[in-house]
Structure 1
Amino acid sequence: MTADAVEAVEMRAALLRLRRATGLPVAFGGLTSGSDRMRIAELSGAATDALRGLAVAAGNGLGGKSLALARACAVTDYQGSQHISHEYDAAVTAEGLRSVLAVPVVVRRRVRGVLYGALRSARPLGDRTLDAAVSAARDVEQALVVRDEARALLAAARVPRAGGGGVWEEVREAHGALRALAPKIVDPALRAELLAVCGRLAGAGAGAVVTTVPGASVEREVAVRLTTREVDVLTCVAAGVTNAVAAERLGVRPETVKGYLRSAMRKLGVHTRGEAVVAARRAGLLP
């Protein structure tokens, strides 16, 4: 899935959340194509396509005002408002919109898009409606931050480097960061790519991808298979964090972390946290 497609999915989900949370019948929005212009690409609840593809310049109309000021703006009667310019009245009128709010999507102090919500009647939009719209915009912001971080980590992980202890610490930090990001990624293709890179990072320093089964007449080598969550927990353990911190990072209870850790240790045939990390690295499960 391309970056544009991922952004479209995130925007559509945010518009649905905005409508459900506010009760507004219409929501629309888009992301910026440059520092001073955004294009309305997604519509939810619209009766026409009048707004689709509309290019909004910073400072123009309600959305352009929100884009320029990097803050939420609202009008009770769009066509009659004296607080905005009216370059887009034709499209707004064609859709039959009267009360409209616009909320910017701001990532690292840069406006990356605008979400709109609207009524087809001229009624004031209260604080609860505005707060719900702002919350939907925050969801898009978080999704964009996660995606940007994931892309940066993927790019860094692909850069070949010479060997050395310092480099392996960087690899391990990148591996831990990628595994922490993976559960937050909505796009399944990007999440799968993150986990695949994690696997390559883990396997790159493996001395062996097998372990032995003691007690057999002839010890035989078998592949160690851990679940995704067991590897996530071992990644946290390798970073030196407590079970409580690992639970917070993974969004589970500390008791759940203990359960995953016990299961991983049993599969690896070890008895301590430190031994588990060493065995996982030898098995190619951790870098």
Structure 2
Amino acid sequence: MAAPATSEIDSQLVSRAVDDLARTTRFPVVFGGLETGGAVTVSAIAGARSHAIDDLVVRTGRGLGGAAMVEKRPRLALDYRTARSITHDYDRAILGEGIATLVAVPIMTAGRARGILYCGSWSQAPVGDAVVRPAFQAADAIATELRIRDEVQRRLSLAPTAETAAGLSAAAREDLRESFAELRTIAAAVTDPEVRGRIAVIEQRLAAVARDGAEPATAAEAQLSPRELDVLACCALGSTNAQIAATLDLKEGTVKSYLQAAMAKLDASTRHAAVARARRIGLLP
């Protein structure tokens, strides 16, 4: 029975990785997918000569990829047809495509296998670290994106609503401010529009808390740029310019410029005054 399909956005994530990997590896055929319900449905394929691996569903513990997921490490079958250390549940698909050498790399987050990337060739070929390194890097990139999405979803579920915000304690409000700054940092590093949109939803919830009883902002204050707000959010946590630069992947001089611009718009003579004013007008929680 086929496993439930992964979301469209997840499929796009794997598809981009597979296409990039096909251009950067020596293997002519690359495919992969994410795990749902104890199985990985192959959702992206590049370089295949047939339709043999279309919609392939790999169960945990079965075949080369299933073994890689259980063992939480890459697996190699130099001669897939004669490999004795794996089950051969998927011979019809793999051998039907004519694959002789196959590498399976698990996509790992927090010690859990979340999917598989496969690289295959139609003839036996030597496989060394340099050959498969792009596959390791691609799996790590997907894992990083999944971790960010998990954190976004977690924070979205915990973000207070306007109705629950009124009763927040001082400690809870400080946690809220830290979450806001961390989310701004995450958003700055994310290119996926779907993930950025979900982060924006959380930020709007947190900003709604900040706007409770807020003073009206001047025209200049309302024009703070996203990066200026990022820097202020980090300042609110007590970060130095050097720490903010490292967090936001900016030069320290650039951070200083953003901070000076924000201070000017907020008519503040110090960073602390700028943060306080941003809170009073509801730009920061």
TM-score under structure 2 length normalisation: 0.90
Identical pairs, percent: 36
Where 1:79 maps in the other structure, the secondary structure is helix
Q: Shift in Å at residue 21 of structure 1?
A: 2.6
Match of 1:51 among 46, 50, 53: 53
CA deviation vs aligned residue, 1:102-145 (integer Å, no higher than 9, x gap): 00111111111111011111112222122221111111111110
Report if the CA contact (8 A) 2:15-2:44 is conserved.
Answer: yes
Q: Take 2:209 and 2:241, find their aligned partners in 1: how far apart are those partners?
A: 27
Where 1:74 maps in the other structure, the secondary structure is strand
Match of 2:29 among 22, 26, 43: 26
Q: Shift in Å at residue 272 of structure 1?
A: 0.4
Aligned AA (1:242): T
Matched residue, 1:217: none
Greater mean deviation of Cα atoms: 124-133 or 225-234: 124-133
Q: Take 1:230 and 1:106, find their aligned partners in 2: how far apart are those partners?
A: 35
Aligned AA (1:169): E
Report if the CA contact (8 A) 2:220-2:266 is conserved.
Answer: no
Matched residue, 1:239: 237
Where 1:94 maps in the other structure, the secondary structure is coil
Where 1:150 maps in the other structure, the secondary structure is helix
CA deviation vs aligned residue, 1:182-229 (integer Å, no higher than 9, x gap): 1233431330231243133124223435345xxxxxxxx765211000
Aligned AA (1:163): L
Report if the CA contact (8 A) 2:207-2:284 is conserved.
Answer: yes
Report if the CA contact (8 A) 1:6-1:187 is conserved.
Answer: no
Are 2:183 and 1:178 aligned?
Answer: yes
Matched residue, 2:251: 253
Greater than 4 Å deviation, 4+ residue runs: none
Matched residue, 1:224: 222
Q: Take 1:3 and 1:226, find their aligned partners in 2: how far apart are those partners?
A: 38
CA deviation vs aligned residue, 1:217-259 (integer Å, no higher than 9, x gap): xxxx765211000000000000101111101111111110000
Report if the CA contact (8 A) 1:146-1:184 is conserved.
Answer: no
Report if the CA contact (8 A) 2:18-2:46 is conserved.
Answer: yes
Greater mean deviation of Cα atoms: 254-263 or 51-60: 51-60
Matched residue, 1:101: 103
Structure 1 gaps, min length 5: 213-220
Match of 2:14 among 11, 14, 19: 11
Q: 1:165 to 1:53 in 2, by over 3 A?
A: same
Q: 1:222 to 1:116 in 2, by over 3 A?
A: closer
CA deviation vs aligned residue, 1:52-90 (integer Å, no higher than 9, x gap): 222212232211111221110111221122232211111
Q: Take 1:148 and 1:180, find their aligned partners in 2: how far apart are those partners?
A: 15
Matched residue, 1:204: 209
Q: Take 1:27 and 1:204, find their aligned partners in 2: how far apart are those partners?
A: 47
Where 2:105 maps in the other structure, the secondary structure is strand
Could you say what the CA RMSD is over the residues aligned between the two structures, in angstroms? 2.0
Q: Take 1:126 and 1:98, find their aligned partners in 2: how far apart are those partners?
A: 16
Structure 2 gaps, min length 5: none
TM-score under structure 1 length normalisation: 0.90
Aligned AA (2:105): V
Q: 1:202 to 1:76 in 2, by over 3 A?
A: same
Q: Shift in Å at residue 3 of structure 1?
A: 7.2
Q: Shift in Å at residue 283 of structure 1?
A: 1.9
Aligned AA (1:56): V
